[in-house]
């Protein structure tokens, strides 16, 4: 069975502080991992995917297969980063659905 765990419901940091949103997954095969972001009253938007290994809006995420983690990081948080962040896994099978974690609200305070 596939499972994604985001242990923190809410992460509150000050502007300029580093951010790390945790994500752990459970899947026996080779998954594809994503981070989606949902700003207030907007749709789910793709932020990052592990295969592209790029940095978007200063965020990075590295897949650690040994620890089955895909934590999202940013060295210096900005107020506009405040949003809901979802980690998601896509198993390499069937219709390639997305399995979501519960989400973490990131609140960046000034």
Partner 1 sequence: EPEVTQTPSHQVTQMGQEVILRCVPISNHLYFYWYRQILGQKVEFLVSFYNNEISEKSEIFDDQFSVERPDGSNFTLKIRSTKLEDSAMYFCASRYEIGQPQHFGDGTRLSIL
**Which positions lie near partner 1, rule CB under 8 A?**
34, 36, 42-46, 49, 86, 94-103
Structure token pair of residue 62: 């590295």
**Residue whose CB is less far from partner 1, 70 or 86:** 86
Shortest CB 48 distance to partner 1, Å: 10
Residue 81 has φ and ψ, to the nearest 5°, of -80, -10
Residues 102/7, Cβ–Cβ less than 8 Å: no
**Residue whose CB is less far from partner 1, 49 or 71:** 49
What's the order of all strands across the beta sheet hosting 19-21?
19-21, 72-74, 60-61
Shortest CB 95 distance to partner 1, Å: 3
Residues 6/102, Cβ–Cβ less than 8 Å: yes
**Residue whose CB is less far from partner 1, 96 or 110:** 96
Shortest CB 93 distance to partner 1, Å: 8
């Amino acid at each position: 069975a596939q499972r994604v765990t985001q242990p923190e419901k809410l992460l509150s940091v000050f502007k300029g502080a580093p951010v790390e949103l945790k994500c752990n997954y459970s899947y026996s095969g080779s998954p594809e991992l994503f981070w989606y972001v949902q700003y207030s009253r907007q749709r789910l938007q793709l932020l990052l995917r592990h295969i592209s290994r790029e940095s978007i809006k200063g965020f990075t995420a590295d897949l650690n297969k040994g620890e089955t983690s895909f934590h999202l990081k940013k060295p210096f948080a900005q107020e506009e980063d405040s949003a809901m962040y979802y980690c998601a896994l896509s198993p390499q099978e069937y219709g390639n659905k997305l399995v979501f974690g519960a989400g973490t609200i990131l609140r960046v305070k000034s």
